[in-house]
């Protein structure tokens, strides 16, 4: 894929429409409780300003579903953005009004205009071209820095690229694309995928794509039990998707045909039910009591995974190894996070739960790259082409 990046283009004297992800959490008083998403786009915005461009910034916030919802206004973002950039931000209470377009056209180099929530219009999520034409009316250049919505064919993500003459990815988007490309499409081998989480059904397409690309897949979490059942093991009350046992067998067969390692846990931590403060036991995978459920991988599994992780030169991780939200069942996930953090491999972590497990284990800064988006990252793992990235392909 030949995506153009912001540092490949000239923004001097240009008005640059930046699709950002300013979908920040707000408290009841309208204050931003976490501004990481705003901070993540600052390098892109600074680059444009430092190189003589003007900025029209736009984002969605929440799910107003095509209606004007005052609690989902981007006005608090304008204030915070001004503090972070150290300059006044113009804010307009609409994204396609005549006033918004006029203000965009009047921008001088170094100035920033923030538009109101894109999703106050239903046309945004419908990828409406007439709407995109108004959004882009004052822009010479379109920069997408909203990786988190790049799996959505929305007007400010896809249709706008058909109406603004020059389009490219911002620095945040560039990092996401390049790290994923390096890990999955041009990896140093062995490439090892660590996959966990609750169910096989949520990760089927991911697994099918992975067995085509990786050298080893390490499986943990609830999903392991459907595979173990497919191998004829008794798994007690563990999470099993009976209707997917056949599919699990097919995935195992594909992995075998490809000659890749597909490693399932060989022991697990079990309990009578999923709650904290109850007795637990570590058992071999062949000895799960009929009245117990597997809620974490055990120490022997961690050791087996450790051997493969330490040989890996590239690691991709998505999904916890157990119910890491409950102390008793968190050890396997945190130990695997430690192993990934300690390895010399290039490591990419994505998906909401794995990222929070990584943070909780204190390893956030010890991996090569942490993806900022759950849904878009998963679709890349599924081998899909994301409309918001394809649209930047030159
Ligand atoms: P996912 O969103 O599919 O990545 O699943 C994440 C969830 O899977 C987390 O909330 C974990 O608590 C849950 N999970 C992990 N291991 C198990 C398990 N052995 N049994 C039930 N749930 C699990």
Last residue of a domain, one of 115, 144, 174: 174
Separation between Cα atoms, residue 258 and residue 246, nearest integer Å = 19
Closest by alpha carbon to 328, among 265, 269, 266, 273? Answer: 269
Q: Answer whether residue 387 is part of any domain.
A: no
What's 242's domain CATH number? 3.40.50.1260
Q: Does residue 250 sit in the same domain as residue 113?
A: no
Q: Does residue 109 sit in the same domain as residue 141?
A: yes
Q: Does residue 165 sit in the same domain as residue 204?
A: no
Separation between Cα atoms, residue 222 and residue 227, nearest integer Å = 10
Q: Does residue 210 sit in the same domain as residue 160?
A: no
Q: Answer whether residue 56 is part of any domain.
A: yes
Q: Answer whether residue 207 is part of any domain.
A: yes
Q: Answer whether residue 372 is part of any domain.
A: yes
Q: Does residue 206 sit in the same domain as residue 151?
A: no
Q: CA 88 → CA 57, 81, 114, 271, distances in Å?
A: 13, 9, 11, 57
Q: Answer whether residue 162 is part of any domain.
A: yes
- Position in ligand 1 atom list of the atom nearest CA 221: 16
Edge-to-edge strands, sheet with 15-19: 90-92, 112-115, 54-58, 15-19, 141-144, 166-169
Last residue of a domain, one of 151, 174, 197: 174
Q: Going by DSSP bridges, is the β-strand pair 267-271/293-297 parallel, antiparallel, or unpaired? A: antiparallel
Q: Does residue 30 sit in the same domain as residue 134?
A: yes
Q: What's residue 319's pLDDT? A: 95
Q: Does residue 344 sit in the same domain as residue 214?
A: yes
Q: Does residue 323 sit in the same domain as residue 202?
A: yes
CA angle 240, 236, 316 (to 5 degrees): 45
The answer to whether residue 104 is catalytic is no
Q: What's residue 351's pLDDT? A: 85
Q: Does residue 31 sit in the same domain as residue 162?
A: yes
Q: Does residue 147 sit in the same domain as residue 204?
A: no
Q: Answer whether residue 370 is part of any domain.
A: yes
- The tens digit of pLDDT for each residue in 166-207 reads 999 999 999 999 999 999 999 999 999 999 999 999 899 999
Active-site residue (options: 202, 352, 374, 383): 352
Q: Does residue 209 sit in the same domain as residue 95?
A: no
Domain that holds residue 122: 6-174
Residue ranges in the chain whose pLDDT is less than 50: none
Q: Which residues line ligand 1 (CB under 6 A)?
A: 197-199, 202, 221-222, 239, 294-295, 319-320, 322-323, 325, 351, 353
Tell me, in angstroms, the distance from the centre of ligand 1 to residue 294's CA: 11
Hey, which of 194, 198, 282, 319 would you mutate to test ligand 1's pocket, going by the most ligand atoms within 8 Å of its Cβ? 198
The answer to whether residue 152 is catalytic is no
Question: Which pTM value belongs to this model?
Answer: 0.93
Last residue of a domain, one of 137, 152, 174: 174
Q: Answer whether residue 44 is part of any domain.
A: yes
How far is CA 298 from its chain centroid? Answer: 28
CB neighbours of 325 closer than 8 A, spacing ≥ 6?
none
Q: Answer whether residue 318 is part of any domain.
A: yes
Based on the structure, what is the number of domains in the chain?
2
Q: Does residue 159 sit in the same domain as residue 225?
A: no
């Amino acid at each position: 894929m030949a995506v153009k990046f912001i540092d490949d283009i000239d923004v001097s004297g240009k008005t640059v429409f930046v699709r950002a992800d300013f979908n920040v959490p707000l408290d009841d008083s309208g204050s931003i409780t976490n501004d990481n998403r705003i901070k993540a786009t600052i390098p892109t915005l600074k680059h444009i300003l430092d190189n003589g461009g003007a900025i029209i910034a736009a984002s969605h916030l929440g799910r107003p579903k095509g209606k004007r919802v005052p609690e989902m206004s981007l006005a608090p973002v304008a204030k915070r953005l001004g503090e972070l950039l150290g300059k006044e931000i113009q804010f307009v209470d609409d994204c396609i009004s005549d006033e918004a377009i006029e203000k965009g056209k009047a921008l001088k180099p170094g100035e920033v205009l923030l538009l109101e929530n894109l999703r106050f219009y239903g046309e945004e999520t419908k990828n409406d071209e007439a709407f995109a034409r108004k959004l882009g009316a004052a822009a010479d250049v379109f920069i997408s820095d909203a990786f988190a919505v790049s799996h959505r064919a929305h007007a400010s993500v896809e249709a706008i690229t058909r109406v603004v003459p020059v389009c490219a990815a911002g620095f945040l988007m560039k990092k996401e694309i390049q790290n994923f490309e390096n890990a999955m499409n041009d990896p140093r081998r062995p490439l090892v995928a660590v996959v966990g989480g609750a169910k096989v059904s949520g990760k089927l397409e991911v697994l099918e794509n992975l067995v085509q690309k990786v050298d080893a897949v390490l499986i943990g979490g609830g999903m392991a039990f459907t595979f173990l059942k497919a191998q004829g093991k008794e798994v007690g009350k563990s999470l099993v998707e009976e209707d997917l046992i056949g599919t699990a067998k097919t995935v195992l067969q594909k992995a075998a045909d490809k000659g890749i390692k597909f490693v399932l846990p060989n022991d697990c931590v079990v309990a009578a039910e999923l709650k904290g403060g109850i007795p637990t036991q570590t058992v071999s995978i062949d000895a799960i009591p009929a009245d117990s459920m597997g809620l974490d991988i055990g120490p022997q599994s961690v050791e087996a995974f450790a051997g493969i992780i330490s040989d890996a030169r590239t690691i991709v991780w998505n999904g916890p190894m157990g119910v890491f939200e409950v102390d008793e069942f968190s050890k396997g996930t945190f130990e695997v996070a430690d192993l990934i953090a300690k390895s010399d491999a290039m490591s990419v972590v994505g998906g909401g739960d794995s990222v929070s497990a990584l943070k909780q284990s204190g390893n956030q800064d010890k991996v090569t790259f942490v993806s900022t988006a759950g849904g878009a990252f998963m679709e890349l793992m599924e081998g899909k082409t994301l409309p918001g990235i394809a649209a930047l392909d030159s």
